[in-house]
């Protein structure tokens, strides 16, 4: 009984709250804690190994001097859309679609695009940058945590009304009833072709290149 009272008080420490996060994952039907951690390790590893966490890649795309980000993103989407569709048809997965909240998507998208260009990171690549020692991104993360605090504090009064009403969870094949498979194939193949045909531009960081032997420098090939 005493324990329950303690938990309900506003004094449970940060340690307890962090344990709460792990417990929440254990009780969800979304993979074991080890698997979720492993997904993160692979996610961080791919982002780091392809170097897409670099300022020169994301901010470089904003000034159209580097196209690795759109090429990799479009390829990922093109391949996954087709494979995921057939996986769902076979009963091996299901769609988890986010609702269309027009105002939230547009205002949020504008803010997100501005910040992505300036910070040169996004919420997935930022932590990977911090892990390789980018202290400016850590300052960005502190800004992000305060942004998250403001969002939480004013969610009911300000942000939720700002997001607008949901127009439903619509996916492209819903708009072409009877031709779902064809729609998916056309979408997936087009997006894959876009990824291949976007001209490859790269902006390199001398601070990384100077550590490599001259014949391994990608900018000299």
Partner 1 sequence: MTNRLPWWMGGILMSGLLLLTFSIFGADRPIGASTYVPYFAGIIFDLNPENYSYLKEIEAPASWEGVMLLGALFGGFVTSVFITKSFRLSLIPSGWKTYKNNSVVSRLLWSFFSGFIMIIGARLAGGCTSGHFMSGMSQMAISAMIFGAVVMISLIITGRLFYNTKGEK
Query: In this complex, which beta carbon is closest to partner 1, that of residue 98 or of residue 177?
Result: 98
The nearer residue to partner 1, 133 or 178, going by C-beta atoms, is 133
- 1 versus 191: smaller Cβ distance to partner 1: 191
If the CB atoms of residues 2 and 96 are measured against partner 1, the closer one turns out to be: 96
Phi, psi of 120 (to 5 degrees): 75, 20
Q: How far is the CB of 134 from partner 1 (least distance, A)?
A: 6
Of 104, 129, 168, 163, whose CA–CA distance to 44 is shortest?
129
Q: Of 94, 97, 83, 96, whose CA–CA distance to 188 is shortest?
A: 83
Nearest to 116 by CA among 40, 61, 43: 61
Give residue for tokens 């001398």.
Answer: 206
CA dist 166 and 168 (Å) reads 5
* Cβ at position 51, least distance to partner 1 in Å: 5
Which of residues 6 and 112 has its CB atom nearest to partner 1 in the complex? 112
Buried b or exposed e, range 52-88, using 16+ CB within 10 angstroms: bbbbbbbbbbeeeebbbbebbebbebbeebbebbeee
Q: How far apart are CA 108 and CA 80, in angstroms?
A: 25
Least distance from C-beta 208 to partner 1, angstroms?
A: 6
Tokens representing residue 155 in the block: 């969610």
For partner 1, which is the closer residue by CB, 149 or 165?
A: 149
Rounded Cα distance between 108 and 60, Å, is 22
- Find out whether 128 and 53 touch, Cβ atoms under 8 Å: yes
Q: Residue 2 Cβ, how far from partner 1 at the closest point, in Å? A: 19
**Cβ 163 to partner 1, closest distance in Å?**
6
We find the least distance from the C-beta atom of residue 6 to partner 1, in angstroms, to be 13
Which tokens hold the place of 29? 């039907």
CB 125 within 8 A of CB 56: no
């Amino acid at each position: 009984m005493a324990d329950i009272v303690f938990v309900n008080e506003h004094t449970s420490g940060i340690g307890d709250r962090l344990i709460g996060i792990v417990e929440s994952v254990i009780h969800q039907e979304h993979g074991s804690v080890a698997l979720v951690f492993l997904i993160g390790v692979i996610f961080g590893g791919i982002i780091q190994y392809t170097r897409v966490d670099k300022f020169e890649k994301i901010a470089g795309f904003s000034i159209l001097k580097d196209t690795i980000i759109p090429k990799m993103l479009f390829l990922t989407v093109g391949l996954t859309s087709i494979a995921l569709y057939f996986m769902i048809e076979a009963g091996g997965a299901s769609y988890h679609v986010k609702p269309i909240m027009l105002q939230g998507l547009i205002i949020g998208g504008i803010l997100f695009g501005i910040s992505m260009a300036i910070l040169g990171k996004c919420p997935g690549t930022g932590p990977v940058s911090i892990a390789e020692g980018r202290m400016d991104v850590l300052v960005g993360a502190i800004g992000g945590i305060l942004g998250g605090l403001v969002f939480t504090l004013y969610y009911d009064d300000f942000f939720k009304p700002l997001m607008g009403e949901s127009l439903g969870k619509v996916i492209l094949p819903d708009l072409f009833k009877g031709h779902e498979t064809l729609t998916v194939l056309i979408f997936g193949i087009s997006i894959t072709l876009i990824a291949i045909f976007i001209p490859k531009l790269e902006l390199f960081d001398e601070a990384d290149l100077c550590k490599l032997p001259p014949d391994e420098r990608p900018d000299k090939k």
